[in-house]
Homo-oligomer: A and B are copies of this chain.
Amino acid sequence: MRSVSDDQTTKARIRDAAILRFAQDGLDAPLRSIASDAGVSAGLIMHHFGSRAGLRRACDDYVQASIRDNKAKLMVPAGAPAAMLAQLAQLEGYAPLVGYILRCLQSGGELTSRLVEGMVADTVDYLREGVRAGTVSPSRDEAARARLLTDFALGSLLLNLPAGKDPLILAELPAWFAAYVDRILQPTLEVFTEPLLTDSTLLDAYLEGQGSAQSTERTTS
């Protein structure tokens, strides 16, 4: 076909409609609704993507590629992973993409692992620069700390987002992100500036136990 206003391939149009529907109605949105949005029959989705799983795979790949591109582009600070999603959500036209990512994170699919891994890597870089600049204290295990902080940020985001509330109103997403950041910023800064625990007895005790345990029972990896 490809008749009027041919700014997109039909296949791409279906993919975009799918991302939007998945973001709005959840990852179990029916193929027929996607087809309807794209102005297309359900059978054509099968023709282009083989199956529902194929469509999901195409969406995942496209989203990951988009993230990769936009990460290098507008993400100057690129530090906190949640901040990246918040920034993306503000960007005109990127709300469906962010919504799709949130749905995936919630359901824990394959994309989740890939995205989280990428965010952990970014956080590692970000923290390393902070350590070099002297604004961030060094860690005994930089990788573990980066993963922990990433999990904290993404996890609390997931727990707080208007979950279950189907459908997810994408138009409200930017405002919601802004409110969320506004809500957590002060306690977050506080807890990462002034230590929650007043002394290091707990940490010392753990390190002590870990040290002796490692020297005695070295059987397990």
Contacts and interface: CB of A to CB of B under 8 A. Distances in A.
Contact of A158 (B159, B184, B191, B207): B159
A192 B186 contact: no
Interface string A141-156: 1001101110110111
Number of copies: 2
A193 B186 contact: no
Contacts of A105: 159
Interface residues of A, number: 56
Given A155-B158, A158-B155, A159-B105, A193 B189 contact: no
Given A151-B159, A195-B194, A202 B186 contact: no
Interface string A107-147: 11110100010000000000000000011110111001101
Interface of A: 105-110, 112, 116, 134-137, 139-141, 144-145, 147-149, 151-152, 154-161, 163-165, 183-200, 202-203, 206-207, 210
Which 9 A-B pairs have CB atoms at the shortest separation, nearest pair first?
A155-B155, A108-B163, A151-B156, A108-B164, A155-B156, A192-B196, A189-B203, A152-B152, A148-B187
